[in-house]
Amino acid sequence: MFVDRVKIYIESGSGGNGAVSFRREKYVPNGGPDGGDGGKGGDIIFEVDEGLNTLMDFRHQKHFKAERGEDGKKKKCNGKNGKDLIIKVPPGTIIKEAETGKIMADMTGETKSKVLLKGGKGGRGNQHFATASRQAPRYAERGQEGKGYWVILELKVIADVGLVGFPNAGKSTLLSVLTNAEPKIADYPFTTLHPNLGVVRNPYGRDFVIADIPGIIEGAHQGIGLGHDFLRHIERTKILLHMVDVASIEGRNPAEDVEKINFELKAYNEELLKRPQIIVANKIDVMENEDNLNLLKETYETKGIKVIPISAATQKGLKDLLIEISKILDQVDEEPVKFEEDFDYFEEPEEIKEPFTIKKISSSYYVVEGTGVEKVIGYTNFESEKGFAFFQKYLRDKGIIDALEKAGIQEGDTVKIYDLEFEYYK
pLDDT at position 94 is: 92
When comparing pLDDT for 367 and 232, which is higher? Answer: 367
Among the listed ranges 85-94, 105-114, 174-183, 337-346, which one has the minimum average pLDDT value? 174-183
Q: What is the pTM of this model?
A: 0.69
When comparing pLDDT for 66 and 193, which is higher? Answer: 66
- Same domain for 254 and 374: no
CA neighbor of 418 nearest in space, from 371, 384, 385, 380 = 371
Model pLDDT for residues 317-330, shown as the tens digit of each residue: 999 999 999 999 99
The answer on pLDDT for 225 being more than 50 is no
The answer on pLDDT for 343 being more than 70 is yes
- Same domain for 197 and 132: no
94 in a domain, yes or no?
yes
pLDDT at position 123 is: 87
- Same domain for 249 and 369: no
The answer on pLDDT for 110 being more than 80 is yes
Q: How many CA atoms lie within 13 A of 182 on its CB side?
A: 0
The answer on pLDDT for 371 being more than 50 is yes
CATH code of 408's domain: 3.30.300.350
pLDDT, mean of residues 207-213:
86
Model pLDDT for residues 251-267, shown as the tens digit of each residue: 889 999 999 889 888 88
pLDDT, mean of residues 82-106:
93
Residue 304: count other Cβ atoms within 10 Å of its Cβ: 8
CATH code of 255's domain: 3.40.50.300
Q: How confident is the model at residue 277 (pLDDT cuts 50, 70, 90)?
A: very high
- Same domain for 44 and 94: yes
CB 320 within 8 A of CB 311: no
Output the average pLDDT for the chain. 83
- Same domain for 378 and 321: no
Q: Domains in the chain: how many in total? A: 3
What is d(CA 301, CA 278) in angstroms, rounded to the nearest whole number?
10
pLDDT, mean of residues 118-143:
79
Q: How confident is the model at residue 381 (pLDDT cuts 50, 70, 90)?
A: low
The answer on pLDDT for 184 being more than 80 is no
- Same domain for 34 and 5: yes
pLDDT at position 251 is: 83
342 in a domain, yes or no?
no
Strands (E) in 260-399, as ranges, are 277-282, 306-309, 357-362, 365-369
pLDDT, mean of residues 109-129:
88
Model pLDDT for residues 301-315, shown as the tens digit of each residue: 999 999 999 999 999
Helix (H, G, I), strand (E, B) or coil at 368: strand
335 in a domain, yes or no?
no
pLDDT at position 351 is: 44
Q: How confident is the model at residue 131 (pLDDT cuts 50, 70, 90)?
A: low
Bridge partners of 33, per DSSP, are 22
Where does a domain end: 106, 136, 155?
A: 155
The answer on pLDDT for 345 being more than 60 is yes
CA neighbor of 278 nearest in space, from 301, 256, 311 = 301
The answer on pLDDT for 356 being more than 80 is yes
237 in a domain, yes or no?
yes
336 in a domain, yes or no?
no
- Same domain for 285 and 404: no
Residue 17: count other Cβ atoms within 10 Å of its Cβ: 25
State which residues form the domain around 395: 351-423
340 in a domain, yes or no?
no
346 in a domain, yes or no?
no
Greatest mean pLDDT among 192-196, 233-237, 387-391, 408-412 lies in 408-412
- Same domain for 169 and 139: no
- Same domain for 148 and 39: yes
The answer on pLDDT for 189 being more than 60 is no
- Same domain for 400 and 269: no
337 in a domain, yes or no?
no
CATH code of 131's domain: 2.70.210.12
When comparing pLDDT for 210 and 335, which is higher? Answer: 210
3-state secondary structure 31-63: CCECCCCCCCCCCEEEEECCCCCCCHHHHCCCE
Where does a domain end: 106, 137, 155?
A: 155
Q: How confident is the model at residue 33 (pLDDT cuts 50, 70, 90)?
A: confident
Where does a domain end: 122, 155, 188?
A: 155
- Same domain for 166 and 91: no
Q: What percent of the chain has pLDDT over 90?
A: 34
pLDDT at position 166 is: 85
- Same domain for 312 and 218: yes
